[in-house]
A and B are shown apart, each in its own frame.
Chain A
Amino acid sequence: AQTVTQSQPEMSVQEAETVTLSCTYDTSESDYYLFWYKQPPSRQMILVIRQEAYKQQNATENRFSVNFQKAAKSFSLKISDSQLGDAAMYFCAYRSATRDDKIIFGKGTRLHILP
Chain B
Amino acid sequence: GAVVSQHPSRVICKSGTSVKIECRSLDFQATTMFWYRQFPKQSLMLMATSNEGSKATYEQGVEKDKFLINHASLTLSTLTVTSAHPEDSSFYICSAPAGGGGSRIYTGELFFGEGSRLTVL
Residues in B with CB closer than 8 Å to A95 are 108-110
**Cα–Cα distance between A104 and B36 once the two chains are bound (Å):** 11
**Cα–Cα distance between A52 and B107 once the two chains are bound (Å):** 9
Residues in A with CB closer than 8 Å to B41 are 110
**Once the chains bind, are B109 and A100 in contact (CB under 8 Å)?**
no
The residue that A50 contacts in the complex, of B31, B42, B107, with Cβ under 8 A, is B107
**Once the chains bind, are B43 and A108 in contact (CB under 8 Å)?**
yes
**Once the chains bind, are B108 and A50 in contact (CB under 8 Å)?**
yes
Q: Does B79 sit at the interface, judged by CB under 8 A? A: no
Number of chain B interface residues as a range: 20 to 34
Residues in B with CB closer than 8 Å to A106 are 43
Chain A interface: which of B13-21, B80-88, B89-97? Answer: B89-97
**Once the chains bind, are A103 and B91 in contact (CB under 8 Å)?**
no
**Cα–Cα distance between A45 and B43 once the two chains are bound (Å):** 11
**Once the chains bind, are B95 and A107 in contact (CB under 8 Å)?**
no
Nearest B residue to A110, CB-CB: B41
**Once the chains bind, are B109 and A43 in contact (CB under 8 Å)?**
no
Q: Write the nearest CB–CB distance from B53 to chain A, whole angstroms.
A: 13
The residue that B109 contacts in the complex, of A35, A44, A97, with Cβ under 8 A, is A35
Q: Write the nearest CB–CB distance from B99 to chain A, whole angstroms.
A: 8
Q: Does B67 sit at the interface, judged by CB under 8 A? A: no
Residues in A with CB closer than 8 Å to B112 are 44-45
Q: Write the nearest CB–CB distance from B68 to chain A, whole angstroms.
A: 19
Residues of A within 8 A of B (CB): 33, 35, 42-45, 47, 50, 52, 91, 95, 97, 99-100, 102-108, 110
